[in-house]
Structure 1
Amino acid sequence: MRIAIIGAGIAGVTTAYECAADGHQVTVFERCGSVAAEGSFANAGITAPGLSLPWSPPQLPCLGGGAKLAWGWQRWRAGRDKTRNEQHERLLKLALFSHARLAELRRSLQMDYERADGVLVLLRSERELSTAQAGLALLGQQDISAQVLSAEQCLRIEPGLNPDTQLHGGVHLEQGEAGNCRQFTHLMRIAAQRLGVQFRFHTTVRQLTPGAPARLIHEYTPPPANLAERPRQTENGESNDSGDTRPAPMGCIEDSFDAVIICAGAGAASLLQTLKLKPALTTVHGYSITAPLRQLEAYPDLGPRAALFDQQQQVSISRIGQRIRLAGGIEPGAASERQKTSTHALLHRILNDWFPGSMLNSQIQQWQGSQALAADGLPLLGASGRDGIWLNLAQGSASVLGWPLACGAARALATQVAGRERGGEAPDITGLDICRFA
């Protein structure tokens, strides 16, 4: 089959790899100049099956304006869906499969990227633990390890935690990790290219026409010369962009494909509109700050060892190599400078709560990323209802713009697109497709 992938973030690149591994001819179209250039660039870097679902009712920001009020209404309705428990069980199975698939890819492809095992969810009060019990019970039913710890036990796992900050206890998720999502995506791109995947960067998909085959109109759209993108550097300071893998002629070009998979994240809205698809999606914005860990011989555990998640504040703290990253402040609607300033202040406050003095503030890198999020907090995976068009969107949760589902969703979609029987190869993603918005 000839397959087109729209979007070269973590979702698009893993999907391209899985399709190519099945022997298909794959082309990836990306509007930016490299992979992982937008929502996958500096996200939380946490992947853990246990964090695929919120353990407490969604914490929405103070809603104002028509768009945010409508979104709040959609989320309220989604929370009352009678099939919600069944959907959550299916999602957790996908998350477990994705975790296993990630480990398998890491071994088989001998991938070496910055990572650390384990995620510790911090609970500041007994009320938070009580609220989380229902979610923890669901994790137990799916054999997802979630060990409830006292404050003292949390300090043994993360000895750098500030003992003066109020901590009731925590939940340790052994099946999780902190990792460099962008670095992993670049390694997956190399693996995909070895299988023959072609990448078209600085290329915008203008139009999609369903059918057998589906038609796709794309155009090479480099930035103006005075605004030309410089090759983005990795967080280690090295260039990690090897350029386009196909010539890029000017003007609009029409191609036909047996299948087109939309993995464009927040950039998918215009394509869905032209296809007259109206899932309950919105664009959410998240923020992160990253800086080197302060190295003091007398305090070897000044920062985190792996990943932590402040349940009350919905902020993650990740160890990324020799750097520390805090991410959070996720909000629907248009991003604003006021929200950015407020979120950065929150991230610094959380850092001071748990790991004071651990970050070199003179070298902080700030990031803002966007992602599509469904009203029910579930991913949008599977057939679109339009011939030849498939969807791989909204994989993040309302609290973590991470990558816990990417590898599993890619494998499941590759199986569906090829029309193979599911068997034991990939979990059933029925119920996570667009039909739930009908």
Structure 2
Amino acid sequence: MRIAIVGAGIVGAATAYELAGDGHEVVVLERHASAAEQASFANPGLLAPALLIPWAAPGTGGPVLRQFTGRQGTLRLTRGAGLHSLAWLWRWARAAGQPQCAGRLLALAHLGRYSLGRTREVAGALQADIETSRGMLVLLRSSGDLELVQAALAALREAGAGVHQVDADTARLIEPGLATDVPLAGALHAVDGEAGNCRVFAQQLRQAAQERGARFVFNARIQALSTTPTGVVLAGESTVRPADAVVLCAGEASAGLLRPLGARLPMQAVHGYSISAPVREDTHAPQGAVIDPLHRIVITRQGQRVRVSGGAELGHAAGVHHAPTLRTLYLALSGWFPGGVLTSSPQVQVWRGARPTLADGAPVIGAGPVPGVWVNAGHGASGWAQACGSARALADLIGGRSPALDLQPFSLARF
């Protein structure tokens, strides 16, 4: 089949790799100048367990109102946030209280485990160095912090993930660099937790897909989808570029392209921040991944760098960074791991990026609203964690095979 993939982020690159490996003639169309330029560029890097990532899904991280207000509020409405953003936020809050919330979290936990296995398989086959670190701690300042992750924890345990509660002394044995003067009641420990560099892997997947015959076309903006014939229309072109199938992996742009076909995805760009800094002293720096659920912050070790991520903004903010959020991230690094990171180095990278998120927290993986159109988008904060599993499952579906994962919870029909 001739397949056009729209988007060359981590999800698009993984999809291209899988479909090209199945023998399809693949072309990837990307509006930016290279792969992984947007949400995949400097995201938190946490691969597993994805459900514990802040803003992974409704029902995780505590009530939305608590995330919006108070001293620990991390959700902000910025310039550009209008009625669409407020409607999305209402749907997100409502989804947390729906009876199907627990089932959705379980489906996401299964997707995360399946995707982690596929990521490791592909990374091993490519002999890819993606700056992997193993193990993850959720730091609990008090017993009340456990309530913030209880729903996600229940789903992970039901899916078979090994997440265990440990005391403060054990937590500091696992992460020797943890500050001794910060109150710590204990932690959740995921032995199988993992982090890595998403952008590096996306670039390696692009190269591997090209070696399998896929073509990547950059600076190509899709103006519309065509159904008769199936294909895409690029900006500046008047004719259709035909294909047997089109796969949308372009985040928010996917929702825009689907709208004329009658599908309205409740998708919102939830912007977050990350700071990446070089390691100063290895024994004082994190060895794996650490989550602070109270401040909704993720700290990951990626080779000789440490990345701290957090914040949630609705609206474009006119490109202006929110200084208090960045200050909180810097304080988290120095507070939890004093002396471990060079935050004053010229190599420090500050990034603000979008996480295209659907209102129920789950992606769409499967058939689109018309024959020949497929969707693999809306992974939100878990795009890196879900990319390889989503790509393999969708490739099986397109190839007429039964995926190893139940994709019904991720169907477009739920909207």
Taking structure 2 as the reference length, the TM-score comes to: 0.90
> Equivalent residue for 2:298?
316
Question: Structure 1 residue 253: deviation in Å?
Answer: 4.9
Amino acid at match of 1:343: T
- Indicate yes or no: 2:338 matched with 1:352: no
C-alpha contact (below 8 Å) 1:266/1:372 kept by paired residues? yes
Moved more, 118-127 or 11-20: 118-127
> Equivalent residue for 1:393?
377
C-alpha contact (below 8 Å) 1:46/1:402 kept by paired residues? no
> Equivalent residue for 1:120?
137
Q: Residues 13-412 of structure 1 correspond to what in structure 2 (within 5 A)?
A: 13-49=13-49, 50-51=51-52, 54=60, 56-58=62-64, 59-60=67-68, 61=75, 66-211=83-228, 213-219=229-235, 251=237, 253-295=239-281, 300-336=282-318, 340-360=322-342, 361-363=344-346, 364-397=348-381, 403-412=384-393
Question: Structure 1 residue 294: deviation in Å?
Answer: 1.2
Amino acid at match of 1:416: L
SS at match of 2:283: coil
Separation in 2, partners of 1:356, 1:79? 36
C-alpha contact (below 8 Å) 1:56/1:135 kept by paired residues? no
Amino acid at match of 1:123: L
Moved more, 411-420 or 262-271: 262-271
Distance 1:81 1:384, change over 3 A: farther
Distance 1:191 1:327, change over 3 A: same
C-alpha contact (below 8 Å) 1:287/1:340 kept by paired residues? no
Cα deviation digits, residues 112-161 of structure 1 (max 9, x gap): 22111112111111111244344323222211010111111110011001
- Indicate yes or no: 2:407 matched with 1:435: no
Separation in 2, partners of 1:389, 1:311? 38
C-alpha contact (below 8 Å) 1:94/1:429 kept by paired residues? no
SS at match of 2:327: helix
C-alpha contact (below 8 Å) 1:124/1:169 kept by paired residues? yes
Cα deviation digits, residues 191-242 of structure 1 (max 9, x gap): 111110000011111110235x51211247xxxxxxxxxxxxxxxxxxxxxx
> Equivalent residue for 1:237?
none
- Give the fraction of aligned pairs with identical amino acids, expressed as a percent: 41
C-alpha contact (below 8 Å) 1:67/1:333 kept by paired residues? no
SS at match of 1:277: coil
C-alpha contact (below 8 Å) 2:7/2:248 kept by paired residues? yes
Question: Structure 1 residue 342: deviation in Å?
Answer: 2.3
SS at match of 2:284: coil
Amino acid at match of 2:21: A
C-alpha contact (below 8 Å) 1:55/1:136 kept by paired residues? no
Separation in 2, partners of 1:327, 1:259? 36
Separation in 2, partners of 1:137, 1:333? 32
Give structure 2 stretches of 5+ with no counterpart: 69-74
Moved more, 427-436 or 403-412: 427-436
Moved more, 129-138 or 309-318: 129-138
Separation in 2, partners of 1:268, 1:370? 14
Give structure 1 stretches of 5+ with no counterpart: 221-250
Separation in 2, partners of 1:55, 1:75? 12
SS at match of 1:31: coil
Separation in 2, partners of 1:284, 1:375? 11
Question: Structure 1 residue 48: deviation in Å?
Answer: 0.5
Distance 1:15 1:362, change over 3 A: same
> Equivalent residue for 1:239?
none
C-alpha contact (below 8 Å) 1:43/1:402 kept by paired residues? no
Amino acid at match of 2:231: R
Question: Structure 1 residue 381: deviation in Å?
Answer: 1.6
Separation in 2, partners of 1:275, 1:160? 53
SS at match of 2:366: strand
> Equivalent residue for 1:245?
none
